[in-house]
Amino acid sequence: MNGKMVRFKCFSEIELKSIFLISCLLFLVLILTSCSAPQKTGSEESDLIVVGFSQVGSESDWREANTVSMVEAFSVENGYRLIFDDAQQKQEKQITAIRNFINQEVDYIVLAPITMEGWDTVLTEAKAAGIPVIIVDRMVDTNDPDLFTCWVGSDTRREGDIAVKWMEENLAGPLRIVHLQGNIGSSAQAGRTDGLEAGLKENKDWTLVFQAPGDFVQAKGQELMEEVLSEGIDFNVIYAENDNMAYGAIDALKEHGIVPGKDVKIISFDAAHDALNLVLSGELTLDVECNPLHGPRVRSLIEQLERGETPEKFTYVDEVLFDASNLTEEIIAQRGY
Ligand code: AHR
């Protein structure tokens, strides 16, 4: 011992309790901050590319798959902040959404247009604000092609044409066709309708016995088929412009004891997972693919713009058709929608 005194402070009971309480609190804070997800700091948040997306609605399985694809592609992890607007099948809601995006000074506007016409004014406003607009899925018909930067989607006229060619090659006439149309004025409807109408002109033993819009909605497809059946219209083919209307039509047929795929041939578009299973089981006769997985495609266009490149003005997605001769369970299992 060198004679130095070691002195201990004696704490009172109250002091000891306070020290214990503060230690517990500090420990709790430490646990909570280490467990919670890492927060974006102000500067990281401002690094995100802001995309305003005006979606048509949620009328079909195709649309749901398209929304999921867009939301996944424009995630924070991928460097984006997505402002998503569901227009519930109303063009005026889409126009309002685009004006809101302009006010919010987003970096890009992505529009899935319900119809082709009626966009010139609002797209001129976006152009004046210097915000690039990317059109996805359906087409717009504008007076000035520079009102949008680029487009990616399906060649729906080609879809109609390949369906008609398949019908010419595979269905024995005379054909009495029930035509369930999508939203009138949308490029998805116009392309598929034009394809069928060209086929009707070419094939003298084809007759259009019923034609009405079902807006791509299952319940409306069913309602229209109920109408056809209650009016006693004679038909042997249904040309439904999407899978959901085909599902509705199939339900109506079954309720009337008609065997889909056997008594009546059914042509559809989209080639969604459930519909392809119906092709395998024979209830659907033909399904023409319309691919909804546009998220990565739109993101790639934005990446090109970010690098200062000029993307192709129009990008058409490669699509195929499925019937009993080329479809397998493996193909269905591998599909992303
Ligand atoms: O524009 C694509 C079409 O819109 C799909 O065929 C249909 O299912 C959707 O609602």
HSE, side-chain direction, 13 A CA sphere, residue 180: 34
Separation between Cα atoms, residue 126 and residue 123, nearest integer Å: 5
> Taking 90 as the threshold, does the pLDDT of residue 37 lie above it?
no
Residue 55: CB within 6 Å of ligand 1?
no
Can you name the residues that pair with 137 across neighbouring β-strands?
A: 153
In this structure, the answer to whether residues 145 and 208 fall within a common structural domain is no
Residue 188 CB less than 6 A away from ligand 1: yes
Residue 15 falls inside a structural domain? no
Using DSSP, state whether 7 is helix, strand or coil: coil
Note the pLDDT tens digit of each residue in 276-331. Answer: 999 999 999 999 999 999 999 999 999 999 999 999 999 999 999 999 999 999 99
The residue whose CA is least distant from atom 2 of ligand 1 is 188
Query: Residue 140 sits in which domain range?
Result: 45-152+292-306
Q: Across the chain, what does the average pLDDT equal?
A: 91
Six-digit token pair at 236?
A: 């042997």
**Does 138 share its domain with 269?**
no
**Contact call for residues 255 and 230 (beta carbons, < 8 A):** no
Query: Could you tell me if the CB of 138 is within 6 A of ligand 1?
Result: yes
286 & 163 share domain: yes
End-to-end CA distance of the chain: 82
- Cβ–ligand 1 distance for 135 under 6 Å, the answer no
Residues 101, 248 share a domain: no
Report how many domains make up the chain. 2
pLDDT of residue 1 exceeding 70:
no
Q: Which of 260, 309, 269, 270 is nearest to 292 (CA)?
A: 270
Decide: 149 in ligand 1 pocket, CB within 6 A: no
Assigned domain for 37 exists: no
Counting Cβ atoms within 10 Å, is residue 141 exposed (0-12), middle (13-18) or buried (19+)? middle
Q: What's the pLDDT score for residue 28?
A: 47
Residue 38 lies in a domain: no
pLDDT tops 80 at residue 21: no
In angstroms, what is the span from residue 259 Cα to ligand 1's centroid? 26
Whether residue 291 has its Cβ less than 6 Å from ligand 1: no
Centroid of ligand 1 to alpha carbon of 137 (angstroms): 8
Confidence at 173, pLDDT banded by 50, 70, 90: confident
- Ligand 1 in contact with 290 (CB < 6 A)? yes
What tens digit of pLDDT does each residue of 182-226 get? 999 999 999 999 999 999 999 999 999 999 999 999 999 999 999
d(CA 2, CA 332): 86
- Mean pLDDT for 106-113 is 98
Q: Is 312 exposed, middle or buried (0-12, 13-18, 19+ CB in 10 A)?
A: exposed
106 lines ligand 1 (CB under 6 A): no
Note whether 185 and 145 are same-domain residues: no
Ligand 1 centroid to Cα of residue 128, in Å, is: 31
What are 266-276's pLDDT values in tens digits?
Answer: 999 999 999 99
How far apart are the C-alpha atoms of 274 and 265, rounded to whole Å? Answer: 18
d(CA 155, CA 82): 27
pLDDT above 70: residue 31? no
The pLDDT, as a whole number, for residue 45 is 73
CA distance 114 to 149: 18
Q: Which of 220, 124, 200 is nearest to 160 (CA)?
A: 200
Predicted confidence at residue 35, as pLDDT, reads 40
Same domain flag for 327 and 184: yes
Same domain, 177 and 100: no
Same domain, 105 and 180: no
pLDDT at 29 over 50: no
SS3 state at 330: helix
The verdict on residue 27 lying in a domain is no
**Residue 46, pLDDT score:** 82
pLDDT at 162 over 80: yes
Q: Do 171 and 274 belong to one domain?
A: yes
CB 133 within 8 A of CB 147: yes
79 and 175 within one domain: no
CA atoms within 13 A on the CB side of 42: 0
Per-residue buried b or exposed e for 163-191, using 16+ beta carbons within 10 Å of the residue's own CB: bbebbeeebeeebbbbbbbbbebbbbbbb
Give yes or no: residues 104 and 120 share one domain: yes
Instruction: Tell me, yes or no, whether 4 lies in a domain.
Output: no
pTM: 0.87
258 and 169 together in one domain: yes
Q: What is the CATH number of the domain that holds 143?
A: 3.40.50.2300
Q: Is residue 315 part of a domain?
A: no
Per-residue pLDDT tens over the stretch 218-249: 999 999 999 999 999 999 999 999 999 999 99
pLDDT of residue 221: 98
Q: At 85, is the pLDDT very low, low, confident or very high (cuts 50, 70, 90)?
A: very high
